[in-house]
Amino acid sequence: MGETSLSIQIKGIRDGLLVSLGGAAWPELVAGFIKNIDERSAFFQGGRVVLDVGPQELRVAELSALRDQLSERGVSLWAVLSESEVTERTAQNLGLATRISKPRPVEVAEAASQSLPQDAAKWVKGPLRSGVRIVFDGNVVVLGDVNSGAEIVAGGSIIVWGRLRGVVHAGAQGDETAIVCALELAPTQLRIAGEIAVSPKKQNKTQPEVASLQDGHLTAEPWHESTGR
């Protein structure tokens, strides 16, 4: 095995192959990884790869180039794990997952009651177009529209400064106090904790609205009436 393979670890997981790249400059790692694939193309052919890049900061060009190289070899890249927020955002922009399924923690109930820490919000610049999926444990704030076909799953509340037409799930871990608000609330589907609702056929008036769970029922009301929250 060559020197490059030292920094490339490959292991099989439930969701495909987990490839950990680390300890060297990105171009070297990519070259090493591609070489690895070319040497064992039968093993990789048709494989689904999760890439763990550690703290590497990757831009769109780098990640999409690698993805294209992989797809030319019949390998599909579907997720990128990273400690760097830049890389995570890049991966999300390219429609790649940034988390792979892990067994859920047992204390879901407890997490729920604490899933609205005041400081933990993900700030997203819109428009979120069809096919984009944002998953975050805390609150999500979108500056811009959320188009139909886009999806937001948040542990906490979701605030959309724009039109909300996609699918949103607030309080995804069971937090029933989570809310969803938007300048125009017209989601394809709206979920808070375990409740699901579709928006009623569109009325002509558009006004900021807030959706919340009240006595176990999803209700939406104009923003000004709920300023007391």
Partner 1 sequence: MTAKVVTVTSGKGGVGKTTSVANIAVALASRNQKVTCIDGDIGLRNLDVVLGLENRIVYDLVDVVEGRCRLRQAMIHDKRLPELYMIPAAQTRDKTAVSPSDMVRLCDELRPEMDWILVDSPAGIERGFKNAVAAADRVIVMTNPEVSAVRDADRVIGLLEAEEKGPVSLVINRLNLAMVKRGDMLSVEDVLDLLAIDLIGIVPEDENVIVASNKGQPLALDPKNKAGIAFQNIARRLLGEEVPFMDMDSPTVLQRLLGRK
Q: Which is nearer to partner 1, 92 or 226 (CB)?
A: 92
Stretch that binds partner 1, among 60-68, 112-120, 175-183, 193-201 (CB under 8 A): 60-68
Q: Which of 40, 48, 129, 229 is in the footprint of partner 1 by CB under 8 A?
A: 129
Least distance (Å) between residue 143 CB and partner 1:
13
93 binds partner 1 (CB under 8 A): yes
Q: How many CB atoms lie within 10 A of CB 205?
A: 7
Q: Which is nearer to partner 1, 147 or 212 (CB)?
A: 147
Q: Which has the closest alpha carbon to 144: 155, 153, 152?
A: 152
Q: Which of 16, 54, 138, 149 is in the footprint of partner 1 by CB under 8 A?
A: 149
Least distance (Å) between residue 114 CB and partner 1:
33
Residue with the two structure tokens 């790869």: 49
68 binds partner 1 (CB under 8 A): yes
Q: Which of residues 152-211 bind partner 1 (CB under 8 A)?
A: none
Instruction: Determine contact, residues 139/122, Cβ cutoff 8 Å.
Output: yes
**27 prior amide bond cis, ω within 30:** no
Binding site for partner 1 (CB under 8 A): 60-61, 64, 68, 71-72, 93-95, 127, 129-132, 145, 147-149
